């Protein structure tokens, strides 16, 4: 029948594209990560050898190499800590903003929402570059600090981990605000009134009513910030110094500088397993749990 053919066309065109250009590349990363490295081009041996009969030529040495060297583990831990701190800062700034936007009247709400998200549309790279200008030794922030008499000489604000956190919080903030707003927007403002009528003060209302109801938004926003930040390369490269190495940087260098393809692939594949897989599983479990509890 014609409908069936039509449906097949719709399902299989993108299916074909994604298997070819997304799934196979991931499989190739895995393949190279278990290949034996050697000098040459490409810098690894084939995993199937047909010299005398058939032989499978794989190794886990690349993984052992990574996981036994503090250089790699330490960088990954640095990235996780960086992502945790940045996510928390985004939440701290994003939550009150999202809450107050969601509780504004409808006209103002839409305008504010657009205003908050619009910077996200302007170039990522250039927004990071803007912080490079602001944090210069003779940049605007130092000028203000000097004129207020807070410091007597310019502070070195750039090229350290704090500048990196600043850049990340700035660029990823809209990703936190949007899902938070999405959930806060849905909930009934009368609940806050009700809890006040029942005698709860502001702080208790926040912790007993507002916060529990916005957990799904907090989870969604935090995931959207946390995962890309762990793999972030540009921001530490532009604003960071040599005080800390991060996962993105060592992956980049392992491939482009050390030309260790199997090592870089093992790093990438470990990243997928440690970072992406738990989150995919978590999301499935979480959606089941929230369906059961009707949140």
Partner 1 sequence: MKSSLIKSIVIFLGLFFLYFPILVLIFYSFNENKRVMVWKGFSLRWYNELFSNEQIIEAFIISIKIAALSATFATILGVMIGYSLVRIRKIPFKSFYIFLSSTPLVLPELILGLSMLLFFISLNNVIGFPSSRGQLTIFISHVTFCIAFVAIIIQARLTDFNKNIEEAAMDLGYNYTKVLYKITLPIILPSIIAGWLLAFTISLDDLVVASFTTGPGANTLPIVVFSKVRLGLSPEVNALSAILMFALIIIGLFYFYFNKKFKH
Question: Which residues within the stretch 221-280 sit at the binding site for partner 1 (CB under 8 A)?
Answer: 223, 227-228, 230-234, 237-238, 248, 251-252, 255, 261, 264-265, 268, 271-272, 275-276, 279-280
Using the rule CB under 8 A, give the single segment among 50-58, 62-70, 95-103, 213-221 that binds partner 1: 95-103
The nearest distance, CB 52 to partner 1, in angstroms, is: 23
**Cα–Cα distance, 232 to 79 (Å, whole number):** 8
Helix residue ranges per DSSP H, 160-246: 161-186, 190-197, 202-205, 211-213, 215-230, 234-239
Our separate counts of H helices and E strands in the chain read 16, 2
* Residue placing its CB nearer to partner 1 in the complex, 101 or 218: 101
The nearest distance, CB 285 to partner 1, in angstroms, is: 14
Q: How is residue 25 written in tokens?
A: 């590349």
Is residue 217 a contact point for partner 1 (CB under 8 A)?
A: no
**Cα–Cα distance, 256 to 8 (Å, whole number):** 41
**Of 17, 48, 207, 289, which lies in the binding site for partner 1, with binding defined by CB under 8 A?**
17
The nearest distance, CB 45 to partner 1, in angstroms, is: 13
Residues 150-179 that bind partner 1 (CB under 8 A): 170, 173-174
Sign of CA dihedral 83, 89, 94, 95: positive
Residues 36-55 that bind partner 1 (CB under 8 A): 42
* Residue placing its CB nearer to partner 1 in the complex, 15 or 67: 15
Residues with Cβ < 8 Å from 37, sequence gap 6 or more? 43, 44, 45, 62, 260, 261, 262, 263
């Amino acid at each position: 029948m014609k409908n069936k053919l039509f449906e097949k066309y719709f399902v299989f065109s993108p299916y074909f594209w994604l298997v070819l250009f997304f799934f196979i590349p991931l499989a190739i990363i895995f393949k190279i990560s278990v290949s034996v490295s050697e000098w040459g081009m490409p810098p690894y041996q084939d995993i199937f050898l047909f010299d005398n009969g058939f032989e499978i030529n794989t190794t886990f040495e690349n993984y052992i190499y990574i996981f036994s060297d503090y250089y790699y583990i330490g960088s990954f831990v640095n990235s996780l800590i960086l992502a945790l701190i940045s996510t928390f800062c985004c939440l701290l700034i994003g939550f009150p903003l999202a809450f107050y936007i969601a509780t504004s009247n409808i006209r103002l709400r839409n305008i504010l929402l657009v205003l908050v998200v619009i910077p996200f549309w302007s170039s990522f790279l250039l927004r990071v570059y803007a912080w490079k200008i602001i944090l210069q030794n003779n940049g605007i922030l130092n000028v203000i600090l000097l004129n207020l008499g807070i410091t007597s000489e310019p502070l070195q604000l750039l090229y350290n981990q704090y500048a990196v956190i600043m850049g990340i919080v700035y660029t990823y903030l809209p990703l936190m605000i949007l899902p938070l707003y999405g959930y806060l927007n849905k909930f009934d403002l009368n609940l806050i009134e009700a809890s006040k009528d029942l005698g709860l003060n502001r702080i208790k209302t926040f912790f007993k009513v507002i916060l529990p109801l916005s957990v799904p938004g907090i989870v969604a926003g935090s995931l959207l910030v946390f995962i890309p930040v762990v793999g972030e390369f540009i921001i530490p490269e532009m604003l960071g110094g040599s005080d800390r190495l991060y996962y993105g940087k060592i992956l980049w260098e392992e491939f482009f500088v050390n030309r260790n393809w199997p090592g870089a692939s093992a790093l990438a594949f470990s990243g997928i397993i440690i970072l992406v897989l738990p989150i995919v599983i978590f999301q499935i479990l979480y959606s089941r749990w929230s369906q059961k509890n009707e949140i």
